[in-house]
Structure 1
Amino acid sequence: MQAMQYELTLPADYDMGIIRARVTRVSPALEDWEGLGFKTYLMRERGVRDSPVNQYAPFYLWNTIEGMNRFLWGGAFQHLVDDFGRPAVHQWTGLAYAEGTAARPALAVRRRQPVPEGAELTALMADAVAEAERRAGQDGVVLAAAAVDPHRWELVHFSLWEHDAPKTEGEVFEVLHLSAPGRSLVAHGRQW
């Protein structure tokens, strides 16, 4: 399991309707993408849910590296690059995945957490796994995941919520669409 996200921070006066229309137009291309667990088309609007920015920030969970590479290097990602420039693509190695009981995501929450220097890695990663499992058990949660970037030593906690009041800390995004061709294939629980 590999997590991936890029962020396009847009001008304060940007018409976010353009992003909504783009998602409607491009989302069918990933509805059957081999190797993709899911892609959440995420957006933040300046002044909504305490967001300081307008931002388009899709979050992916990949079942295979080949599927991710085909997306990045096979032409699909180039369309975004042509329209908005080349963003930095963040990647994290999967630690845990858990399904909740809710069905339709309305919001996503992403929390990034630095791995402190000197931290006992086994315990910290076990805590991240336990947090994903706890989060998935909360009312209104569709799914929860945890992943780590061992280059920047950063944990990311990601969850999808059915309702408008997530019970967790982090940046809140509106879910415009969920493409989930391989969601049922994402390995549940700890990823090692």
Structure 2
Amino acid sequence: MHAMQYELTLPAGYDMGIIRDRVARRGRLLDDWDGLGLKAYLTRERGLRGSPVNQYAPFYLWNTVDGMNSFLWGGGFQGVSDDFGRPSARQWTGLAYEEGQASHARFAVRRRQRVPDGGLLTDAVEAAVGEARRLAAQDGVLLAASAVDTSRWELVHFSLWERDPPDTGGEVFDVLHLSAPGRDLLPRGRQW
């Protein structure tokens, strides 16, 4: 599993209805994308749920590198680049994925943290695996994943919720649409 996200931070007065309309028109284009586990179409609005910015920030879990590369180089990502300029697309290597009991997603939480200096890397990533498991077991969670960016030694914990999530110290996003053609193919549990 590979995680990917790009963030488009928009002006403070930006009409977020433009993004909602865009997702309503184009969101289903990835509903059958080969190699995609899921894409959560995420937004944050300045002043809501603690967000300091207006932002469109889709989050992806890929089943295959081929699917991710096909999206990046084969036309899917080009639409974003054409309309907003080319954002940096962050990538993380999957550590764990777990399913929860919820039936749909209204909110997402992304929490990033540094991998602690010193100590054993095994301990840090095992803790991340445990965090995915802990999040997925909470009431109202659809799924949870943990991943690592070894170029920055940063962990990301991502979860989808059907109701307002509790304060976890992460950024809270609205989910406008969820494309999940290969969600059932995402490997469960620890990824190594």
Spell out the pairing of 1:97-116 with structure 2 (5 A cutoff): 97-116=97-116
Task: State the distance in 2 between where 1:28 and 1:104 align.
Answer: 16
Which shows bigger deviation, 119-128 or 181-190?
119-128
1:165 positional shift: 3.3
How is 1:1-192 mapped onto 2 (pairs within 5 angstroms)?
Answer: 1-192=1-192
TM-score, scaled relative to structure 2: 0.98
CA RMSD of aligned residues (A): 0.8
SS in 1 for 2:175: strand
Inter-partner Cα distance in structure 2 for 1:61 and 1:144: 11
Is the Cα–Cα contact under 8 Å of residues 3 and 92 in structure 2 kept in the other structure?
yes
Runs of 4+ in 1 over 6 A off after TM superposition: none
Contact 1:38 1:179 in 2 (8 A): yes
Distance 1:117 1:170 in 2: 21
Alignment-mate amino acid for residue 136 of structure 2: A
CA displacement 1:9-51 (0-9 Å, x = unmatched)? 0000000000000101111210100000000000000000010
Deviates more, 1:118-127 or 1:60-69: 118-127
Q: What is the alpha-carbon distance in structure 1 between the residues aligned to residue 108 and residue 141 of structure 2?
A: 10
What CA distance in whole angstroms lies between the structure 2 residues aligned with 1:119 and 1:12?
42
Q: CA–CA distance in 1 between the matches of 2:96 and 2:165? A: 23
Offset at 1:167? 5.0
Q: Provide the C-alpha distance between the structure 1 equivalents of 2:51 and 2:7, rounded to a whole number of angstroms.
A: 14
Cα distance in 1, alignment partners of residues 21 and 174 from structure 2: 14
Alpha-carbon contact 1:96-1:190 (below 8 Å) kept = yes
| Structure 1 unaligned spans of 5+ | none
- Please say which of residues 116-125 and 16-25 is displaced more in the overlay: 116-125
TM-score (norm 1): 0.98
Identity of aligned residues (%): 70
Contiguous gaps of at least 5 residues in structure 2 = none
Cα separation, 2, equivalents of 1:139 and 1:182: 24
8 Å Cα contact 1:109-1:166 kept in structure 2: no
| Count of residues paired in the alignment | 192
Offset of 1:127 from its aligned partner?
0.5
- Alpha-carbon distance in 1 for matches of 2:95, 2:146: 5
